[in-house]
Amino acid sequence: MAKFQPRDRKVKILATVGPASSDPEMLRRLVRAGADAFRLNMSHGDHSIHEKSFEAIRALEKEFQRPIAILCDLQGPKLRVGEFKDGKALIAHGARFTLDRNPEPGDATRVQLPHPELFGLLEKGHRLLINDGKIRMRVREATPDAIHCTAEVGGVISNRKGVNVPDAEVPIPALTEKDRRDLTFAIEHGADWIGLSFVQRPEDIAEARKLMGGYGSLCAKIEKPQAIKRLNEIIELSDGVMVARGDLGVELNPEEVPPLQKRIVNFSRTLGKPVIVATQMLESMIESPSPTRAEVSDVANAVYDGADAVMLSAETAAGDWPEEAVLMMDRIAAQVERSDDFKQRVRFLETPPDATTADALSHACMTIADTVPIRAIVTFTASGASARRVVRERPSVPVMVLTPSAVTARRTALLWGAYPVITKDIGSFEEMIAKGKRMALRHGFGDATDKLIVLAGVPFGTPGATNLLHVVTLQGDELKKHEN
């Protein structure tokens, strides 16, 4: 059984599983390199492939004796053009082009748009972005049967390329029939997080929650401009948030994305919701063994902003250097967190505690750890709520999350600074102190004379009853007992 040492960083690394990383041995190497959680992209591969990934990741949990979060990322609805006579066509810059209901193959002047909900929705001046924004159309006239456009940016257009409509709220649900099937599969196989794509309004979150039936945690992917208009409501209704910069960068101007990323991270942190920064973080490492300096700075800025997790997409799913990409992200994050100004910068955002005992004690944990030498904060939790409160403060020491629930342990594996451990529940104050010390020694969070902060609730086992904070000192005889 592998001996697993705590990471030398608090931000988590979420790696996407794909053809380059689905082999169990490669997944093992990614965990050793620094991956704390894995994303299964339901847009690619069938259920039999994803089932093997579930099995391999759960086997690694047992091998490393460390909870690993699995996020199943739903595809969401995709708007696409129809097909062309020759499979593709060249649209000149400034040319006129029409998207219509005619199912006949298209050419350089027109193509079918097999989405009736868009006709009558678009207006003059609205934009249509095709193939990830490589082709940009501006609507001249829209009728119930055709959308007449001017190609502001032309290029080669081919069969079934994606269409983005940034200027209108598309009246389609965030969950397709495929998403519903994928969601059922994910829940049945114990997915810890569900990534919801195409979120435009809070009602999309409510629909997904109803289908989830209380299982799993819901991560809202912020990738549509329409979601920005109701961002606060969407984040409040979600369990976590993903800044999906790839799609945001298609529908928004590039210069709008960085400040929006900071806004999403800050509001999520204020609410104590885990936030993931995703897409193109080390994009060049899909083909190169080393990143660009700009990519290194991008990852570093996300770490400085206090994001809970940074995500690798194609870098680990389909790239030539999946292990090296994780190692690089791990090195960047660890170096940033060791910098002299990290604590000050990561706390530049104020997260004042709510007027509750639990929040006040969580805030006190951070203050005590800044004032006296503390090795770790140990929190006992059934639901994970107390762990979320503690890490929201971005304390300077790791947070051991002791819980009897494997579900809670896996979900908290995405939290900044959290080190979840599955252990039996406690029944008394003495047992709490003894177990906190024992787990800290066992997992490398303490030595003789080190101090720990222990946070719990009395009566024990009662959700939401965090009301006890205790500072304890590890003794030499306890260390000897543990070693024996």
pLDDT tens, residue by residue, 204-220:
999 999 999 999 999 99
Q: 2 falls in which pLDDT band (50, 70, 90)?
A: low
CA atoms of 70 and 51, how far apart (whole Å) = 12
Q: Which domains does the chain carry?
A: 12-76+173-342 (3.20.20.60), 88-164 (2.40.33.10), 357-483 (3.40.1380.20)
Q: 296 falls in which pLDDT band (50, 70, 90)?
A: very high
Q: Which of 29, 80, 138, 230 is catalytic?
A: 80
Q: 447 falls in which pLDDT band (50, 70, 90)?
A: confident
Q: Do residues 257 and 245 make contact, with C-beta atoms less than 8 angstroms apart?
A: yes
Neighbours of 484 (CB within 10 A): 5
Q: 155 falls in which pLDDT band (50, 70, 90)?
A: very high
CA atoms of 78 and 88, how far apart (whole Å) = 19
List the structure tokens of 287: 């083909």
The pLDDT mean for the chain works out to 94
Q: 279 falls in which pLDDT band (50, 70, 90)?
A: very high
| Identity of the residue numbered 398 | P
List the structure tokens of 13: 């690394």
Please state the rounded mean pLDDT for residues 472-483: 67
Q: Assess whether pLDDT exceeds 70 at residue 446.
A: yes
Please identify which residue in the block is written with the tokens 């969950």.
175
Q: 484 falls in which pLDDT band (50, 70, 90)?
A: very low
Question: Going by DSSP bridges, is the β-strand pair 127-130/240-244 parallel, antiparallel, or unpaired?
Answer: unpaired
Question: Going by DSSP bridges, is the β-strand pair 37-41/309-312 parallel, antiparallel, or unpaired?
Answer: unpaired
Question: What pLDDT does residue 168 have?
Answer: 92
Question: What pLDDT does residue 223 have?
Answer: 93
Question: What pLDDT does residue 52 have?
Answer: 98
Query: Does the reported pTM lie above 0.85?
Result: yes
Q: Assess whether pLDDT exceeds 90 at residue 87.
A: yes
Contacts of 66 (CB under 8 A, 6+ apart): 4
CA atoms of 407 and 403, how far apart (whole Å) = 9
Share of the chain above pLDDT 70, in %: 96
Q: Assess whether pLDDT exceeds 90 at residue 247.
A: no
Please confirm, yes or no, whether 138 is among the known catalytic residues: no
SS3 letters across the chain:
CCCCCCCCCCCEEEEEECCCCCCHHHHHHHHHHCCCEEEEECCCCCHHHHHHHHHHHHHHHHHHCCCCEEEEECCCCCCECCCECCCEEEECCCCEEEEECCCCCECCCEEECCCHHHCCCCCCCCEEEECCCCEEEEEEEECCCEEEEEEEECEEEECCCEEECCCCCCCCCCCCHHHHHHHHHHHHCCCCEEEECCCCCHHHHHHHHHHHCCCCEEEEEECCHHHHHCHHHHHHHCCEEEEEHHHHHHHCCHHHHHHHHHHHHHHHHHHCCCEEEECCCCHHHHCCCCCCHHHHHHHHHHHHCCCCEEEECHHHHCCCCHHHHHHHHHHHHHHHHHCCCHHHHHCCCCCCCCCCHHHHHHHHHHHHHHHCCCCEEEEECCCCHHHHHHHHCCCCCCEEEEECCHHHHHHHCCCCCEEEEECCCCCCHHHHHHHHHHHHHHCCCCCCCCEEEEEEECCCCCCCCEEEEEEEECCHHHHHHHHC
Q: Which of 7, 10, 127, 221 is catalytic?
A: 221
Please state the rounded mean pLDDT for residues 80-93: 96
CA atoms of 242 and 41, how far apart (whole Å) = 14
Please state the rounded mean pLDDT for residues 121-146: 95
Please confirm, yes or no, whether 269 is among the known catalytic residues: no
CA atoms of 408 and 40, how far apart (whole Å) = 19
Q: 464 falls in which pLDDT band (50, 70, 90)?
A: low
Q: 353 falls in which pLDDT band (50, 70, 90)?
A: confident
Q: 476 falls in which pLDDT band (50, 70, 90)?
A: low
Residue 91: C-alpha distances to residues 88, 96, 133, 188 (Å): 10, 8, 14, 46
Q: Assess whether pLDDT exceeds 60 at residue 480.
A: no
Question: What pLDDT does residue 461 have?
Answer: 65
Please state the rounded mean pLDDT for residues 44-71: 97
**Poorest-pLDDT segment among 105-109, 245-249, 281-285:** 245-249
Please state the rounded mean pLDDT for residues 3-25: 92
**Poorest-pLDDT segment among 148-162, 289-303, 422-436, 448-462:** 448-462
Q: What are phi and psi of 111, to 5 degrees?
A: -160, 155
List the structure tokens of 80: 């696409």
Please confirm, yes or no, whether 80 is among the known catalytic residues: yes
Please state the rounded mean pLDDT for residues 18-33: 97
CA atoms of 370 and 34, how far apart (whole Å) = 27
Q: Which of 39, 269, 273, 411 is catalytic?
A: 39
Please identify which residue in the block is written with the tokens 């009246």.
171
List the structure tokens of 310: 């940074």
Q: Which of 279, 316, 381, 412 is catalytic?
A: 279
Question: What pLDDT does residue 478 have?
Answer: 58
Contacts of 379 (CB under 8 A, 6+ apart): 386, 387, 390, 399, 400, 401, 402, 454, 455, 456, 466
Q: Assess whether pLDDT exceeds 60 at residue 1.
A: no
CA atoms of 243 and 247, how far apart (whole Å) = 9
